[in-house]
Amino acid sequence: MTEQITADAVVEAQALADAAARRLDVRMRDLATVAEQHEAADLLCRVWRADSPDQLINGGMLRALEHSGNYVVGAYRDEVLIGAAVAFFGEGHLHSHIAGVDPARQSGGVGFALKQHQRAWALARGIGEVCWTFDPLVRRNAHVNLHKLGATAADYLPDFYGEMNDGINTGEATDRIYIRWELLSPAARAAARGETTEVDPAVWAAAAELLGRTEHDAPRKPAPAPPLDGRPLLVAVPADVERLRISDRETARAWRHAVRDAICGALEAGYRITGMSRDGWYVLEVKS
């Protein structure tokens, strides 16, 4: 149950979002003009390595979303657009459809600052939950979502979007993990203050390996596989799936099916995803 949104909570969220932007010398603003919207579409196109914004989200769609009151925001440094995020209203939540940062500026905290701005924006409008999907094979996104933002993994969605031709996802099954970000949960509030959590060492020590990886970064199933007997479980993902898709597409596809089978089987047995280690292991625990 999402906590009641108070004026103090909105003020706190805005202050934390402003502080995150200031630390990076970044300014967030609504993308309100046609020129800004087309520039954002082009930036997202570069992030996804798409041939055209029409394969992803184009300026016309951003225009319609912004005009109808949805979240269409850019991150600027020295008046240069370096990131963009787009979300629209769902049933009782904000659905974060796409967000990206200029590839030359990734891993610098701009994505986190954008999400904190999105959090404050949603709370100011009485929305206490933001949801989105991400590719379960991209471990840095899993760690950011589950630990740096304090969100939770709600479901595993096999081939959610079907076939796509946007560059990054071309020729790949579009499995996704569905994320719920309860904006006033203790985890989200702590994350907004910069208090990042990690996998509990006690949980890690008690866990059994459900899917591992070889020294050549291929999926490896233990023999015999551990029983789903209530112990925490570990499911590996590749070190860098985006690079692997270029160097060894067949191994990348093998990872897709191995991770899908492992996680979906565990979810059906009553487990839930509770974390992602920095070195690329999902942790699953029995639902309490």
Count CB-CB contacts under 10 A for residue 75: 27
pLDDT at 38: 97
Domains of the chain: 7-192 (3.40.630.30), 201-286 (no CATH)
Q: How far apart are CA 77 and CA 130, in angstroms?
A: 26
Give the angle subtended at the CA of 40 by the CAs of 183 and 146, to the nearest 5°: 30
Distance CA 204, CA 281 (A): 10
Cα Dmax for the chain: 59
Phi, psi at 178, each rounded to 5°: -90, 125
pLDDT given at position 165: 61
Read off the DSSP letter of residue 36.
Answer: H
Q: For residues 255 and 28, what is the distance between their CA atoms, to the nearest angstrom?
A: 37
**What is the pLDDT, as a whole number, of residue 104?**
81
Do residues 232 and 283 make contact, with C-beta atoms less than 8 angstroms apart?
yes
Matching residue, tokens 């071309």: 170
Cα separation, 221 vs 272, in Å, equals 20
Q: Provide the residue type at 120 as one letter.
A: A
Note the pLDDT tens digit of each residue in 258-282: 999 999 999 999 999 999 999 999 9
Q: Rounded to 5 degrees, what are φ and ψ at 202?
A: -65, -40
Looking at residue 156, its pLDDT comes to 98
| Per-residue pLDDT tens digits for 80-126 | 999 999 999 999 999 999 999 998 876 689 999 999 999 999 999 99
Please report the pLDDT score of residue 36 as a whole number: 98
Q: Which residues of the chain have pLDDT under 50?
A: 1
Q: What are the structure tokens assigned to 208, written together?
A: 């059994």
Predicted model pTM: 0.93
What pLDDT score was predicted for residue 166?
Answer: 57
